[in-house]
Amino acid sequence: VSPFFKAVVMFSCMPEVNDRRVCSASNYKPIQCHFIFTSLTLMGLSYFQLHSNMDKGDGTVKYVLTGDGAGTLFLIDEKSGDIHATKRLDREEKAMYTLHAKVLDRSTNAELEPDTEFNIKIHDINDNEPKFAREIYFASVPEMSEVGTSVVTVTATDADDQTYGNSAKLVYSILQGQPYFSVDSENGTIKTALPGMDREVKENYQVVIQAKDMAGQMGGLSGTTTVSITLSDVNDSPPRFANHSFRVTAVESTEIGGAIGHIKADDPDVGRNAEMEYSIVGGHDTFNIITDQTTQEGVIVIKKALDYESKRDYEFRVEVKNTYLDARFIHGLQFKDYATVRVTVEDVDEPPVFTRNPYIIEVHEDTAAGSFVGVVSARDPDADNKPVKYSIDRHTDLERLFNIDSVNGTITTLKALDREMSKWHNISVVATEINNPRQTTRVPVFIKVLDVNDNAPEFAMSYDTFVCENVKAGQLIQTISAVDTDEPLVGHKFVFSISPTNPNFTIVDREDNTANIVTRRGGFSRREMNMYFLPVVISDNDYPIQSSTSTLIVRVCACDSRGNMQSCNPEVLPFSDGLTTGALVAILLCVIILLMIVVLFAALRRQRKKEPLIISKEDVRDNVVSYNDEGGGEEDTQAFDIGTLRNPEVMDANKLRRDIIPEMLFPFRRTSPIKDNTDVRDFINGRLQENDSDPTAPPYDSLATYAYEGSGSLAESLSSLESAATEGDQDYDYLSNWGPQFKKLAEMYIGRSVDREA
């Protein structure tokens, strides 16, 4: 068979079992063979044969088959050229196979003929039933839909050849679901078949659809599926009350906004079609009804406090309606309903009720203790009208400033009030039923303390004021202002004034609660006066007028030509012929006073009676050392005898002091003996008191030693006898910081120090 010329030989007949087909050609003309097998051909039973003109039948020719399925699905007999199928052929797996045949010399494997191509086409038979994509379909359609409303389309597929015969031509039918639904036989569309299907009557339907091939003829194959159809809800049912009369009981103590009862209407619809809204027909001033969106109930709440003593029964009408309406069903139906609600109020034991809440009371700050502040009043709202007592919650009045009459609720002060300490006092008053102490009510009482002009104005700050020595008259040296803790209604208005006879300064009121201090003269001198005390009187304008005097300290300072302060410390200058008359008079007065003191001191010394001091070691008193000689302490064995401390009677009665010669003698006063067990400290204290009160003792300094310290004491001498020797070592500059009281003393000592250094 030559490949240069191709012809087609078609075997269109259906081969039977053991049927044999031969593809051959003569005169070496190329041909292409097409063999048609059915998909039901059994393995090894149907075959066809290839034959070449070169085959003489002597077995020298060998046939070889290549291509789709060669050696596995199709086997060829090398000697005869018979081709067999090894298994059943399925068109749905492969509809055509392309093979190549060769003719070889058996001994040399040389090609006797070129390759020849031929096709094996599998003819279709109805061996596949229709199949749906899913076993169960889910669909929905609104209830009350018209007949013929499309629900869903279900489609089956058939694997057989669509172009050959009726093997894949399907017809749909309904096996279950009549008479409610129908199906289009050609495309599988399910439609409603009955009018007025009501979801409230039946909601779910199971429909079985069949698809059959061979155009539905006898012997065709079929497949089925189930369609679950649900009727979706539409608002075709209005809400209705099962009972058109409701009775509710409420206690009078129910708070505003509290619920006292629930009512509910029924609506067979679902979802938003069943949503309802409740309202009171015409409204009501005491009750209101709200809709619970979760339970679709009407909740009756209190809009105004109930009072059993005032009204005990209420009645009103409630309306319920759907919030969403379907225009298709509103005609001829009333989508609302009504019910009557009766409310009965029950009595409870209520706590006392104040006439006001809160109370705001005003009282002046100058009100004395025990004064009237205000009155609170409460009553028992129950029909019994039980008596009430009043009290103050002391946790709100820790300072115990107020008191209340437990019977009539009169509030009085326990202490005087001060607005500057606290402008408001917030206390709580408790009203309690006497017969039932558990029934209490508290009310806040805000007490405002009104201002009274009881505080005088004063300087707003501490001023550091100075005036230059070279200042001229009329020069501004300080602007002052004032503050007042009072709060007058029309605001503060301060008036400033100083003594009009003050030769140094004057004051100018600026009419804005400030004033200027102005010099009245020029030429201030630190040597004459380095500090001035200027009393300023500040008055307010409220009633009664309060005023105070504040002292402004003005220092005299040295300044440069621009008025900038350089130094305010007083300068100590040597005396000169240029001293003023006032300075000379002051010095003269000081000298006269010092002379008088010296003369008086000398006269007193002449008249003072002196008693001999200790003149021996047996004297019971401490040794007195002269001004120019200190005792030897523990090392001085002749100056002290401890035995005299224990037994003063051993002293000679006429022994005199040996440190100084008295001008006149006085009789010796024997001291009473002491017991042996007396403490030395008590003894010394007693002797010290006797000597301090002795009028004959001279006013001399003395050094007393009691054998406790000697010459080696770290404390050194306590005597002031040698203090004058170290006077020059003192630094008296600190005296200028002690204030005006020590001014003169500072000038004297600081001046003396300057002279000594010079």
Helix (H) or strand (E) holding 516, with range, is: strand 514-519
DSSP string, 332-351: T---EEEEEEEEEEEP--PP
- Token reading at 641: 């005898």
Q: For residue 374, what pLDDT is reported?
A: 93
- Rounded CA-CA distance 174/192 in Å is 12
What is the biggest distance separating any 2 CA atoms in the chain, rounded to whole angstroms?
A: 196
Q: If you classify domain 131-232 with CATH, what class do you get? A: mainly beta
Task: Give start and end residues of each alpha helix (H) in 26-124.
Answer: none
240-346: CATH number = 2.60.40.60
Residue reference for tokens 């019977």: 407
- Rounded CA-CA distance 143/150 in Å is 13
Q: If you classify domain 21-123 with CATH, what class do you get? A: mainly beta
- Token reading at 385: 């009208």
Q: For residue 94, what pLDDT is reported?
A: 82
- Rounded CA-CA distance 678/506 in Å is 73
| Rounded average pLDDT per 10-residue block, the chain, 758 residues | 31 34 39 43 54 81 86 84 82 82 86 83 80 93 92 90 79 92 93 91 93 84 93 89 93 91 92 91 94 93 89 94 82 82 90 91 87 92 85 92 93 89 92 90 92 82 89 89 80 86 89 90 86 90 83 90 79 50 83 90 74 48 51 50 52 46 48 59 80 67 52 54 50 71 75 55
Alpha-carbon Rg of the chain, whole angstroms? 68
- Rounded CA-CA distance 377/354 in Å is 6
- Rounded CA-CA distance 736/732 in Å is 8
Give 352's DSSP letter: P
Superfamily in which the 458-567 domain is placed by CATH: Cadherins (2.60.40.60)
Q: For residue 95, what pLDDT is reported?
A: 78
Q: For residue 228, what pLDDT is reported?
A: 95
Where are the domains positioned within the chain?
21-123, 131-232, 240-346, 353-450, 458-567
DSSP string, 197-232: --TTT--EEEEEEEEESGGG-TT--EEEEEEEEEEE
- Rounded CA-CA distance 424/361 in Å is 10
Residue 500: Cβ within 10 Å count:
7
Q: Which of 577, 580, 595, 495 minimizes the C-alpha distance to 538?
A: 495
- Rounded CA-CA distance 521/187 in Å is 126
What is the 3-state secondary structure of 740-755? Answer: HHHHHHHHHHHHHHHH
Sheet with 150-153, edge to edge strand ranges: 150-153, 189-192, 181-183
- Rounded CA-CA distance 637/342 in Å is 122
142: which residues sit within 8 A by CB, 6+ positions away?
149, 231, 232, 233, 234
Helix (H) or strand (E) holding 718, with range, is: none
- Residue 549 in contact with residue 537, Cβ under 8 Å? yes
DSSP string, 535-591: EEEEE-SSSS--EEEEEEEEEEEEE-TT--EEE-SPP-----TT--HHHHHHHHHHH
Task: Examine domains 21-123 and 458-567 and report if their fold is the same.
Answer: yes
**SS3 breakdown of the chain: % helix, strand, coil, rounded to 5?**
10, 35, 55
- Residue 123 in contact with residue 163, Cβ under 8 Å? no
Q: For residue 661, what pLDDT is reported?
A: 47
Q: What is the pTM of this model?
A: 0.41
Q: For residue 60, what pLDDT is reported?
A: 84
Residue 596: Cβ within 10 Å count:
10
Grouping H, G, I as helix, E, B as strand and the rest as coil, residue 649 is helix
Contacts of 636-642 with C-beta under 8 Å, sequence gap 24+, read: 636/705, 639/705, 640/705, 640/706, 640/707, 641/617, 642/707
**Which overall architecture, per CATH, does domain 353-450 show?**
Sandwich (2.60)
- Residue 525 in contact with residue 469, Cβ under 8 Å? yes
- Token reading at 588: 């003269």
Grouping H, G, I as helix, E, B as strand and the rest as coil, residue 431 is strand
